[in-house]
Amino acid sequence: MVFKKLSPKQTEIFKFPHESYDALICDGAVRSGKTMMMIYAFIWWAMEQFDGGIFGVCGKTVQSAERNIIQPLMATKSVTDKYLVTYTRSMKVLTVRQGKKINYFYIFGGKDESSYMLIQGLTLSGVLLDEVALMPRSFVEQAITRTLSVDNAKLWFNCNPERPTHWFYNEWIKNAEQHNVKRLHFLMTDNPGLSEKAIAKAERDFSGVFYDRYVLGLWVRAEGVIYKGFAENPQKYKIDKVPILDKIIIGVDWGGNKSGHSFTAIGITPGYGELIALCSEKHEAKDTKPEDIYKLYRKFEDKVKAKYGNAIAVYPDNAEQVLLNGLRDHTGIPVYNSYKCPVIDRIRKIQQLVGQERFLYTDDCKTLVDALCNAVWDEKKLGDERLDDGTSDIDSLDSFEYSWSWYIDYL
């Protein structure tokens, strides 16, 4: 990768080290060219101002920082022509040399409230926090504290927008002047490396609140119908003929007195190209016994097998281990614990697949289609949460999500 041309907004990033600001915030649309410009400017500033310094480079996880920052940086000719860059994975440290000058950049992940302990006790000459809006406040504030004893230390923040009640938006962006912050708000058009065709494609990846945040770069609350793009025209995603499938998987959600037992079978095409909902059912849970549930499930499994083929795995709700273990006696398919990644991550993935027209369904998915069309945000919650008060079919959504959550990164 070679930086051939910078936009005016990207140029402002490189002015920051020479200005009197204590911190830089780059927020806005995805794929707007802010991340790579920031890490390159961060390295350049560190090498100009320090020798033997220790710096922090933070992502949501160490793996995401390696993928989104370290690997692209080491593939950038503009960097490798200027510096000798090595990364020691076991130590999670990036070493940058220029002549006799050397600086060290330690990689951290701020994934949960305990992550602040990873960075506690260090003295940092500067820190770059990528995806800062996805990190716990305790981790971010600990990273900031680590720079207080170093003269000329600077803070570098980068993120895509979240909800307007988010602590980082209210504490740092709305109070930028108070914190002596330079804020740069990016759109896709601020990235000269993106063609109009690429921008149009990126815009199709998102809908609803995620379009407002990731394309328009707005800090807006989640409200109304969640899967708006799908709900407005569900027929667009219906198929009459199922393509060749690489794997078939079944998800199960156990019901209680106020919910239902839900089964969903999905198919994934080769190369994880498409996610196809094959069949879905929901049954009243009140007064049902385990044996009743297993009979219902077995009929569902037989139906899927007869029409679409053999499933390779079943992923039931892992909160009910007794029911899960009992299911193993009623099926010849391997039964595994479901992977409960955050609900917001599941929502984002389906939004993306819908936008890319990679989510499809058959006529055997009436309960799932109804659930997707009627899922709404909980407007009473400060965070992005799905309304779960019995007015929409969360059970069908859960069994659907359990069926593919283990494959979310591949999709």
Residues spanned by the domain of 173: 8-195
Question: Does 292 share its domain with 345?
Answer: yes
Q: At what angle do helices 394-404 and 366-374 cross, to 10 degrees?
A: 110
Q: Are 282 and 396 in contact (CB under 8 A)?
A: yes
Q: What is the mean pLDDT of the chain?
A: 93
- Segment 151-167 shows an average pLDDT of 95
Considering the domain architecture, whether residues 164 and 280 belong to the same structural domain is answered as no
Q: Dig out the tokens for 314 from the structure.
A: 């079943």
Q: What is the pLDDT of residues 318-376, one digit of tens each?
A: 989 999 999 999 999 999 999 999 999 999 999 999 989 999 999 999 999 999 999 99
Cα–Cα distance for residue pair 400/398, rounded to 1 Å: 5
Q: Two tokens at 18?
A: 């020479």
Residue 26 belongs to some domain of the structure: yes
DSSP 225: B
- How many CA atoms are closer than 13 Å to the CA of 84, on its beta-carbon side? 6
**The pLDDT value given to residue 13:** 97
pLDDT at position 390 is 86
Look at residue 254 and tell me whether its pLDDT is greater than 80.
yes
pLDDT band at 2 (very low <50, low <70, confident <90, very high): low
Are 187 and 237 contained in the same domain?
no
Same domain, 260 and 365: yes
Q: Are residues 167 and 278 in the same domain?
A: no
177 and 245 in a single domain? The answer is no
Token reading at 244: 């060749």
Contact 242, 276 (CB under 8 A): yes
Task: Indicate the number of domains in the chain.
Answer: 2
342 with 233, same domain?
yes
- Predicted pLDDT of residue 115: 74
pLDDT of residue 3: 58
Going by C-alpha positions, the residue among 122, 101, 86 that lies closest to residue 51 is 101
Q: Name the helix (H) or strand (E) containing 212.
A: helix 208-214
Look at residue 148 in the predicted model and tell me its pLDDT: 94
Q: Is the pLDDT of residue 113 over 80?
A: no
Instruction: Say whether both 147 and 294 belong to one domain.
Output: no
**DSSP strand pairing (101-109 vs 54-59):** parallel
DSSP 359-407: EEE-TT-HHHHHHHHH-BB-TTSSS--B--SSSS-HHHHHHHHHHHGGG
Domain match, 177 and 263 both: no
Mean pLDDT calculated for residue range 88-92: 93
* Domain harbouring 62, CATH code: 3.40.50.300
Last residue within a domain, chosen from 195, 220, 236: 195
